[in-house]
Chains A and B, each alone.
Chain A
Amino acid sequence: MLAVQQLKRVFKGGSAGFRNLHFTVQESEIIGILGTSGCGKSTLLRVLAGLDQNFTGKLKNKDKDGKQPGMMFQEPRLMPWLTVKENIGFGVKDGAGKEVEIQQFIDLVGLTGFENHYPKDLSGGMAQRTAIARALITDPSVLLLDEPFSALDAFTKMQLQDLLLSLWEKRKTTMVLVTHDIDEALYLCDRIFVLKGQPGEQYAELILDDIKKPRQRGSHELAERKSNILNLLDLSRQEAN
C-alpha cells in the first residue's frame, strides 16, 4: 500500500524536515501524523504525495496500477474559474458517466444545489467539501490529508470530520492525516505516529484500533489517550527551551 524505510528529507542545513522514518500503512487504515510545528509533518506528506523528490531512503507510494496517492491540502485550492461541478471533475478523464459520477459525489459531500456555484460564492466549509469530493472521485488507493480542517471553525470542523468518517465507512479509502489537533487525530485515526524534534523523528506510535468508530468525542477513553500524547510531546519542557 504505502511504505517508507529510512525516509529522510532535511533542508535549511539539516534543522528542518524529518529523518529515520519507518512505517507501513495497511489497506483501509487511517493513520495520523501528529507533531508540533516545524517537525516536518507537511514535508513528509509532500514527499509521500510525490511533490517533493529530494528525499533519501525508500518510498513506495504507487499502487499496483501505478497511481499516486490523492491529496487534500490545508486550503481547498479550487480553481477559481471553475464551478463546483467542474472543480470536482478536474482530475477525471472525460468519458461516459463522468457527469453521473460527479453528481454522485456532490450528493455524497452534501453540496446538492451548489453544482454551478463558483468558489468565490462558497463558505470555507463548502469549499473544503468540494476539495474532499475532488480528491476522492479519482478513487486513489491512499488519500493524504494535510491539516485539511485547520482553517475551519470548530463546528464546521466537526461536521467535516464526520463527513470524512462516513466517506471512509463507504469506501474504505486508506488515509494519512497530518494534523496538530490531538482531538482530531484521536477521533479519526487507527494509529497515530508522533513526530518530535527538528528535524522530526518518529517518537512514538499509538494504536487506537481497540476503540470503535464512530467514537464519542470527549469520552473518558479518548481523554486518557490525549493526556498520554501530551506527555509524549512534552510541551511544557519544549516551551521552556
Chain B
Amino acid sequence: MASKTELWQSRASEKKKELLRPLLKERLQGSWLGLIIPMILLISWEIASVRGVFEAHLLPAPTVVLAKISEMAADGSLWSHIWITLYRVFIGFVIGTASAVVIGSFVGYWKLAENLLDSLVQAFRSIPSLAWVPLFILWMGIGEPSKIVLIAVGVFFPVYLNIVAGIQGVDRKLIEVGKIYQFSSLQIVRRIILPSALPSFITGIRSGLGVGWMFVVAAELMGASEGLGYLLVEGQNTYAPDVVIASILLFALLGKGSDSVLKLVETKALHYQDTLANQG
C-alpha cells in the first residue's frame, strides 16, 4: 500500500512539473495568435486607405483614427469620456447583478417564490429593453439615473436566468451529502448550492456585462454630454468619421478588456472543473 502510494505521489509531482511549463507557454502563444488576424486587417486597411481605395471622408485610415485618439488623450477629453462611460457601465452592472442575485436566489431555491415571481420576470424579459427608454426619461430625466437604470435592467435578465438555472440544476445527490451531516438549510445553501451554481453565475455575469456595454451606448445616444456614446453622436453631427471610429474602437477595447477580467476570474474560480477548457 505504502509503496504504491509513493509511486502515485512521485508520478503526480512529475506530471505537475511537466504540465506547468508548456501550459504557460501555450497560454502566451494563444493570446499572441489572437492578434495575427486583427493586425493583418489593420495593415490592409491602412494600405487601402493610403492608396485611396476608401474615401477619407467616409473611412479614414487607422493612423488618422489613432492620431485622433492621441489628440483627445493629449487634451484630456478622452479620459473624461472613458471615465464616465466606465462609471455608468460599472454602477449599472453592479445594481443589475445584485438585484438579479437576490431575486434569482429566491426564485431558484424556493418553489413559492418561483410560482409568484418567475412568470412576471419572464413577461418583463420579453419587453425589448429599449422600449423603456422614453419612460425612464420621463420618470428620471436625461441625467445619470435614467441611464444607469437602463443598463441595470439590461444586465439583470441574463444574470437572473443563469442564477435560477444554476441553482435549480444543483445535483440532488450533493445536497443529500449535506443532509447526512445534518446541515441546516443555510449551511446547505452556503456550502453546497452556491458553489455548485457558481459556474452558471459566472456565465451569467459575463453575458450581463456584454449587455451592459450594449446598453451604455443606447443610454448615451439618448442624450448625454459626455461619454463614448456621446462621441458617436458628436462625430455624426460634425461629419467626423474619425471620431466615430475612434469611439467604436475604444468600445471594442474596453469591452474586451472588461470581459478578459471576468474570464480571468472564471478560470481562477472554476479551475476544478473537468472540462475541455481545463484540459492540461
Given contacts A51-B176, A81-B272, contact A113 B9 (CB under 8 A): yes
Asked if B173 and A75 sit within 8 Å, CB to CB, the answer is yes
Asked if B173 and A73 sit within 8 Å, CB to CB, the answer is yes
Residue of B nearest to A163 (CB): B1
Partner of B180, one of A71, A82, A113: A71
Residue of A nearest to B198 (CB): A81
Asked if A91 and B9 sit within 8 Å, CB to CB, the answer is no
- Chain A residues, CB < 8 A from B254: none
Asked if A80 and B273 sit within 8 Å, CB to CB, the answer is yes
- Chain A residues, CB < 8 A from B196: 81
Partner of A51, one of B174, B179, B192, B195: B179
Q: Is the interface of B mostly helix, strand, loop or mixed?
A: helix
- Chain A residues, CB < 8 A from B180: 49-51, 68, 70-71, 91
Q: Complex formed: what's the CA distance from A81 to B181 in Å?
A: 18
Q: Complex formed: what's the CA distance from A90 to B181 in Å?
A: 9
Q: Complex formed: what's the CA distance from A68 to B1 in Å?
A: 32
Indicate whether B5 reaches chain A with its CB closer than 8 angstroms: yes
- Chain B residues, CB < 8 A from A58: none
CB distance from B33 to the nearest CB of A (A): 27
CB distance from B167 to the nearest CB of A (A): 15
Interface size on A, residues (CB 8 A): 26
Given contacts A110-B5, A112-B9, contact A77 B274 (CB under 8 A): no
- Chain A residues, CB < 8 A from B12: 113-114, 117
Partner of B8, one of A81, A91, A114: A114
Residue of A nearest to B183 (CB): A91
- Chain B residues, CB < 8 A from A49: 180
Partner of A90, one of B173, B177, B179, B278: B177
CB distance from A177 to the nearest CB of B (A): 16
Q: Complex formed: what's the CA distance from A73 to B180 in Å?
A: 11
Indicate whether B182 reaches chain A with its CB closer than 8 angstroms: yes
- Chain A residues, CB < 8 A from B198: 81
Sorted nearest first, the 7 A-B pairs with minimum C-beta distance are A113-B9, A120-B274, A91-B181, A118-B272, A71-B180, A81-B195, A81-B272
25 residue pairs A–B, Cβ–Cβ below 8 Å: A49-B180, A50-B179, A50-B180, A51-B176, A51-B180, A68-B180, A68-B182, A73-B173, A73-B177, A79-B177, A80-B272, A81-B196, A82-B272, A90-B177, A91-B180, A110-B1, A110-B4, A112-B5, A113-B5, A113-B8, A113-B12, A114-B9, A120-B274, A120-B278, A138-B181
